[in-house]
Amino acid sequence: MKSLVAFIYLPVAFVILIGCTPRDSLEKPDIESGSGFFYYKDKAIADGSAMRVFYFKPRNFNPDRPIVFLMHGADRHVTHLTGEDAELVENYNILLIQPEYSERLYPEIESYQYGNVRTKPKELWTYYVNDRIFHLVKTITGSRQKKYYLWGNSAGAQFVHRQLLVGAYKYISKAFASNAGVYTMPTHGINPYPFSLKGLSLTDEDLRRIFSLDFFILLGEDDVIQDAFFLMNDAAMRQGSNRLERGRTFYAIAEREAQRLAVDLKWKLITIPGCGHNPNDDMTRTIARLIFSEKN
């Protein structure tokens, strides 16, 4: 899983030339067996450009197999799946979708991790783009899946948990957020969004529905380093001094709010021994097991 781990987190320098998008790839996208990508236009992209959506489709994939969306990290870059990672996805026989939310098309942390919630009307929030890609993928492949699975690590985990919190979960079967650097706490706290729900028009009934989702917070027990990507402003530091602490704070507040609302919290907190910020094999296997299990 080394290259897959790199996709999820490690920063790289890359320039995306969207301007040379082939016309046919927009009008007639296709998903063939193996690695590939297609261009996708969405109303959330301001200048009418197209984003790249990478995929890996196993040879034996059929319309009844799961579709898994994998969200990249802060590097905003996706590469084709190859080697051991491709073999792993082949063996699981899942359709892996990797949308590329490039810095050019989704500028700054505001557009990706924070979803443009503070800057654009709801219909243009980034968190609904995955749903529209999912419906396009269903059309292309003939999939009979009604929902998709969603996993993100680091900045990708920030995207995942906020996609759920703002209400963009209609088509998500199970969601996995691992090693997020900072959270939107599921309460109307001191600091406004993106650090809590303060400023969002969410009611207690909305929270009840959110707490009923199949959502898994995965934390590496060794993810305790304050690296260059670790947000350290006052609002973030109130959540904890490292990513492990912040993830535990996020879950503890969810437990407290669920108790206040007298509802069962369906979320699960899972810590992975020996795992740092990058997902290890134990974390990957845990997520795979949860995707394929009927019971959580």
CB 36 within 8 A of CB 79: no
Write down the CATH number for the domain with range 2-292: 3.40.50.1820
Q: What is the pLDDT of residue 4?
A: 54
CA 252 centroid distance within chain: 21
Q: Is the pLDDT score of 145 beyond 90? A: yes
Q: What is the 3-state secondary structure of 23-91?
A: HHHHHCCCCCCEEEEEEEECCCCCCCCEEEEEEEECCCCCCCCCEEEEECCCCCCCCCCCHHHHHHHHH
37 beta partners: 54
Q: What is the pLDDT of residue 27?
A: 60
CB 1 within 8 A of CB 285: no
Mean pLDDT of 280-290: 95
Q: Where do the structural domains in the chain lie, given as residue ranges? A: 2-292
Confidence of residue 46 (pLDDT cuts 50, 70, 90): confident
Confidence of residue 13 (pLDDT cuts 50, 70, 90): very low
Confidence of residue 26 (pLDDT cuts 50, 70, 90): low
Q: Is the pLDDT score of 242 beyond 60? A: yes
Q: List all residues 6 or more positions away from 62 whose beta carbon is below 8 Å from its beta carbon.
A: none
Q: What is the pLDDT of residue 7?
A: 42
Q: In the predicted model, what is the mean pLDDT of the chain?
A: 91
**What spatial distance separates the first Cα and last Cα of the chain, rounded to whole Å?**
24
Q: Is the pLDDT score of 121 beyond 90? A: yes
Q: CA triplet 182, 100, 152: central angle to 5 degrees?
A: 35
Confidence of residue 255 (pLDDT cuts 50, 70, 90): very high
Confidence of residue 108 (pLDDT cuts 50, 70, 90): very high
